[in-house]
Amino acid sequence: MTDARHTPLRLLGLALCAALALSACSRSQALSKNKRPVFDGQLFRMRLAAEKDAPANFTVAVKDAGKSLAGARDAGRYEAVNHCIEYFGSSRIDWINGPDAPDEALQFQGSDLILSGVCRGW
């Protein structure tokens, strides 16, 4: 005889397992074969430079932004957020030249998208 009290708990457990499995599937699709993140279907090389005396101030260069401007914006944001979380414990950024700016306001150096901002800690 099955105890009815355990049925909702079992269903909840199965639902959590299914959600975890599905989230792992989507995560693997967002990474390339060499486990680098993919943005708008493209791989981007990014370089973040932080000021030595004020590491909260940073600049990100996203190489070959012409492959996908939307992807380059996301790649730059990704690199900046990772930097701010690693060094300041927060993903909050005050953008100076940010990825959400209109296309005509974005800054480029050759074919590289240049973003800059300041990390804001807790």
The overall pTM is greater than 0.85: no
Percent of the chain with pLDDT over 90: 69
Rounded CA separation 98/116 (Å): 6
pLDDT, tens digit, 9 for 90 and up, residues 91-114: 999 999 999 999 999 999 999 999
Reported as a pLDDT band with limits 50, 70 and 90, residue 11 is: low
- Inter-residue contact 89 to 122 (CB < 8 Å): yes
**Residue 27 confidence class, pLDDT cut points 50, 70, 90:** very low
Of the candidates 18, 103, 97, 10, the one whose C-alpha atom is nearest the C-alpha of residue 61 is: 97
Evaluate if residue 81 carries a pLDDT over 60: yes
- Please, which pLDDT band fits residue 36 given cuts at 50, 70 and 90? confident
